[in-house]
Amino acid sequence: MAESRILIVGLGLIGGSLAAALRAAGHERSIVACDPDAAEIERGIQMGLIDGGDTRLTPLVEGASLIVLAVPVLAMRGVMDELAAALPEGVVGGEAPRVVITDVGSTKAAVRDCALAAFGELPAGLVLGHPIAGSEKSGVAASDPWLYANHKVILTPAADTAPSAIARIRALWQACGAEVLEMEVERHDQVLARTSHLPHLLAFTLVDTLARQDERLEIFRYAAGGFRDFTRIAGSDPVMWRDIFTANRDAVLTALDDFEVGLGRLRRAVEIGDGDAMLATFDRASHARHYFDSLLNQSSYQAEYHMQRQGKLTFRAAPGGRVAGRIRVPGDKSISHRSIMLGALAEGITEVKGFLEGEDSLATLQAFREMGVAIEGPHQGRVTVHGVGMHGLKAPSGPLYVGNAGTAMRLFAGLLAGQAFPTELIGDASLTKRPMGRVADPLRLMGAVIDTAEGGRPPLKIHGGQKLRGIDYDMPMASAQVKSCLLLAGLYAEGETRVREPAPTRDHTERMLAGFGYEVHRDGDTCWLTGGGKLAASSIDVPADISSATFFLVAAAITPGSNLILEHVGINPTRIGVINILKLMGADLRLTNEREVGGEPVADLHIRYAPLKGIDIPRDQVPLAIDEFPALFIAAASANGVTRLRGAEELRVKESDRIQAMADGLATIGVEHTVVEDGIDIVGAGDRDVSYGGGRIDSLGDHRIAMAFVVASLRAGEEIVIDDCANVATSFPGFTELARVVGLRVSEETQEVEA
């Protein structure tokens, strides 16, 4: 930063901390300050924060290239008037203003209005800003050089603010270690009204209310952590807060109105002893709070809520090794989603165990909380869903965010089409590219009104309140998500909803509906149900996910000396393509301890190394192994001879184009292959210790691509580094830990990236 002189107007905690942070960052040029209190200036000089100062502004303006206004919002107008008079004509305007002015006020529209009034226009060199940092302390003595480190600073430039001025203010805050974002003025004021002004208002009110009561000394004596945590900010500067509430009146009142509605709802629940309503609110709040914590800690939890992950996760897999042991992989993702969906719509309490605590299924769970369903857990895979009945869901207050989860979005589309209220479904960047016309089109045939973005992509706006009628639908693709979506909509439709599938797909929805007492019929390739029935709560034991188990099946299958048991794996006949394909390739794979748990068959899978051979993958196995191909491509790369896959065009519309993503990765590690539209030929390197090389792979944020290349390291000659792996947490939380337990040599690395 090469500002010749920085002038800070208002040397309190915020202005003083800015000077302290700049000094700590090695800023050697002059910093001066103006403050009505001469003692504050003196203290600032003694603390080494500023080189000089004055109680009058005008004498300090000359020679300053950057002016920071750190005075209370209602003092802004006077300061701006003085600045406008003192600054030479034109220095804050033009394409490259000589003098740049910024502020730190908590509300922006009011400060913008002051500037307009004082200067007659918004000068191109004025960049309004707001550091989201502070403390209940005030005065320069409380200055903290780290106050802004890792905090956000929001800039609210206007359309004609000079880019060079914005760049200078960015550099100022970045030098203090802050992260700089931009926002429109109005949006800033609304967001801050909710996240900062409302909580301050509540804290001031609570402390004041208690302090007025006669027995106040008694009360404060017994006030413990809850009181202290909640009211810390009531010790903040009263003048500053009077100014903020005066300046941001309208946005604060709107936020307060919303809050009063919530308070009234909870008051009523307490009054009538509605435990479910209380639980629903507390659970939602508790999870939202944990989510907020995880954002602060930059760890990944479920819904990203429009925010990019702050850190990028990379896996490093050292070459070689073998796998051995007895493990249980996390619960089945498909069944976990459905357990919450049907549990929520059922009458009574559904107990789930083995629930997958991955981001995808947690997104489903959170969405139901947002629709008023009380859900306890998950605690070590246990979830208790307090069903609200077929018509008991409530309108959520905003869009439902389902993250990376295609299953959640497509199944929700059907379920929500049957509700009386409108909803919007949104997802992360990857999900936003995936086709939703496949569900929106047949739902429209049933009478639903749904808007999609261009090309049938998310977001999905479901109007709700429509009368649905059953249809007889011939699915153009083999998709369990489409089938399930229509069956869920069919629960709300008049008459029969029939779905014909071109090839068998996973039937968890049908099985679970039956488990909840809802009749689902099947005849050959067609299943159907009649709308208007009810679901009765049930208990669900979610088996381990065969799709997650696959990574370890392939790991053992390709590595001499391996011997591994995977416990309690779901072996639903519509999911066992991977078992059939690996056996055809010559794998030594045995099923033991076969049993049925809650309507789903499970078994322990025992796999030992045996040399694999390339095969033509039977087409009828493709839908039964649809999620397993990334790992199976690695099996093929390590087998003797060519493996051919055809009829797998659906792989191109998964979390990534999995044919291309895998082909690119295989090319990097030196595996010969030929891509075709609906499949691939992979030339296996044969039964050698080292089948291919290493390299750096982009998983494209696709969890299964990332895990497949970790497995590949077992037969690689060099390290395989895989980027963009955070989404592994969508389906397989704890993957690398478990991989290390059985003998893989994989580690995680997080790089910070700019948001």
Give binding residues as ranges.
Answer: 333-334, 338, 406, 434, 479, 481, 627, 654, 658, 704
CB of 743 to ligand S3P, least distance (A): 27
102 binds ligand S3P (CB under 6 A): no
CB of 480 to ligand S3P, least distance (A): 4
Compare residues 481 and 691 and give the one whose CB is closer to ligand S3P.
Answer: 481
575 binds ligand S3P (CB under 6 A): no
CB of 508 to ligand S3P, least distance (A): 7
Dist. CA 621–CA 626, nearest whole Å: 8
Q: Please check whether residue 566 is in contact with residue 537, taking contact to mean a CB–CB distance below 8 angstroms.
A: no
Part in contact with ligand S3P (CB under 6 A); list of ranges 59-67, 175-183, 350-358, 478-486: 478-486
Beta pairing, strands 66-69 & 30-34:
unpaired
364 binds ligand S3P (CB under 6 A): no
Compare residues 279 and 653 and give the one whose CB is closer to ligand S3P.
Answer: 653
334 binds ligand S3P (CB under 6 A): yes
User: Is the peptide bond between 459 and the residue preceding it cis, with omega within 30 degrees of 0?
Assistant: yes
CB of 534 to ligand S3P, least distance (A): 23
Interface mask toward ligand S3P for 397-436; x: CB under 6 A: ----------x-----------------------------
484 binds ligand S3P (CB under 6 A): yes
Part in contact with ligand S3P (CB under 6 A); list of ranges 93-101, 206-214, 257-265, 476-484: 476-484
506 binds ligand S3P (CB under 6 A): yes
656 binds ligand S3P (CB under 6 A): no
User: Which residues are designated catalytic?
Assistant: 627
CB of 359 to ligand S3P, least distance (A): 14
Compare residues 27 and 434 and give the one whose CB is closer to ligand S3P.
Answer: 434
Q: Which of residues 215-244 bind ligand S3P (CB under 6 A)?
A: none
Compare residues 649 and 723 and give the one whose CB is closer to ligand S3P.
Answer: 649
CB of 261 to ligand S3P, least distance (A): 36
What is the helix (H) or strand (E) element at residue 112, kind and residue range? helix 109-119
Dist. CA 467–CA 487, nearest whole Å: 15
At residue 480, what is the residue type? A
Beta pairing, strands 400-401 & 382-388:
unpaired
CB of 655 to ligand S3P, least distance (A): 8
Phi-psi category of residue 105: left, alpha or beta, with phi > 0 → left and psi -120 to 50 → alpha:
beta
Q: Which of residues 370-389 bind ligand S3P (CB under 6 A)?
A: none
CB of 315 to ligand S3P, least distance (A): 21
Compare residues 147 and 553 and give the one whose CB is closer to ligand S3P.
Answer: 553
Residues annotated as binding site for phosphoenolpyruvate?
Answer: 333, 406, 434, 481, 658, 704
Q: Please check whether residue 590 is in contact with residue 620, taking contact to mean a CB–CB distance below 8 angstroms.
A: no
Tokens (6 digits) for 229: 């945590």
Tokens (6 digits) for 588: 């030594």
Compare residues 650 and 664 and give the one whose CB is closer to ligand S3P.
Answer: 650
Options 481, 497, 621, 638; binder of ligand S3P; rule CB under 6 A: 481
**Which residues, at least 6 apart from 195, have a Cβ–Cβ distance to it below 8 Å?**
none
Q: Please check whether residue 161 is in contact with residue 119, taking contact to mean a CB–CB distance below 8 angstroms.
A: no
511 binds ligand S3P (CB under 6 A): no
Tokens (6 digits) for 312: 């990028």
332 binds ligand S3P (CB under 6 A): no
Compare residues 317 and 450 and give the one whose CB is closer to ligand S3P.
Answer: 450
Pick from 19, 46, 16: which is nearest to 31 by CA?
19
Which residue's beta carbon is nearest to the bound ligand S3P? 334
Interface mask toward ligand S3P for 609-648; x: CB under 6 A: -----------------xx---------------------
650 binds ligand S3P (CB under 6 A): yes
Pick from 473, 635, 637, 640: which is nearest to 554 by CA?
635
Residues paired with residue 528 on neighbouring β-strands, in sequence order: 498, 521
Backbone dihedral angles phi then psi of residue 282, each to the nearest 5 degrees = -65, -40
479 binds ligand S3P (CB under 6 A): yes
Compare residues 185 and 408 and give the one whose CB is closer to ligand S3P.
Answer: 408
Part in contact with ligand S3P (CB under 6 A); list of ranges 11-19, 191-199, 299-307, 479-487: 479-487
The 3-state DSSP class for residue 45 equals helix
Backbone dihedral angles phi then psi of residue 509, each to the nearest 5 degrees = -65, -45
Part in contact with ligand S3P (CB under 6 A); list of ranges 84-92, 156-164, 299-307, 474-482: 474-482
CB of 358 to ligand S3P, least distance (A): 12
Measured torsion, CA atoms of residues 485, 486, 487, 490, in degrees rounded to the nearest 10 = 130
Dist. CA 615–CA 684, nearest whole Å: 10
727 binds ligand S3P (CB under 6 A): no
106 binds ligand S3P (CB under 6 A): no
Compare residues 140 and 450 and give the one whose CB is closer to ligand S3P.
Answer: 450
Order of strands across the sheet that contains 679-685? 640-645, 679-685, 673-676
480 binds ligand S3P (CB under 6 A): yes
Residue 613 exposed, middle or buried by CB count within 10 Å (0-12, 13-18, 19+): middle
Part in contact with ligand S3P (CB under 6 A); list of ranges 61-69, 214-222, 477-485, 746-754: 477-485
CB of 485 to ligand S3P, least distance (A): 9
Phi-psi category of residue 161: left, alpha or beta, with phi > 0 → left and psi -120 to 50 → alpha:
beta
Q: Please check whether residue 356 is in contact with residue 542, taking contact to mean a CB–CB distance below 8 angstroms.
A: yes
Dist. CA 449–CA 281, nearest whole Å: 30
The 3-state DSSP class for residue 609 equals coil
The count of chain residues that interact with ligand S3P, using the rule CB under 6 A, is 10
Compare residues 563 and 660 and give the one whose CB is closer to ligand S3P.
Answer: 660
Q: Please check whether residue 558 is in contact with residue 714, taking contact to mean a CB–CB distance below 8 angstroms.
A: yes
- E-strand ranges in 149-229 read 152-155, 179-182
510 binds ligand S3P (CB under 6 A): no
Dist. CA 719–CA 697, nearest whole Å: 11
SS (H, E, C) 399-444: CEECCCCHHHHHHHHHHHHCCCCCEEEECCCCHHHCCCHHHHHHHH
Instruction: Tell how many helices (H) and how many strands (E) occur in the chain.
Output: 26, 32
Compare residues 567 and 628 and give the one whose CB is closer to ligand S3P.
Answer: 628
DSSP 197: I
Interface mask toward ligand S3P for 238-277; x: CB under 6 A: ----------------------------------------
What is the helix (H) or strand (E) element at residue 461, kind and residue range? strand 457-462
Residues annotated as binding site for 3-phosphoshikimate?
Answer: 333-334, 338, 479, 481, 627, 654
Dist. CA 330–CA 728, nearest whole Å: 12
CB of 373 to ligand S3P, least distance (A): 20
Q: Which residues bind ligand S3P (CB under 6 A)?
A: 334, 407, 479-481, 484, 506, 626-627, 650
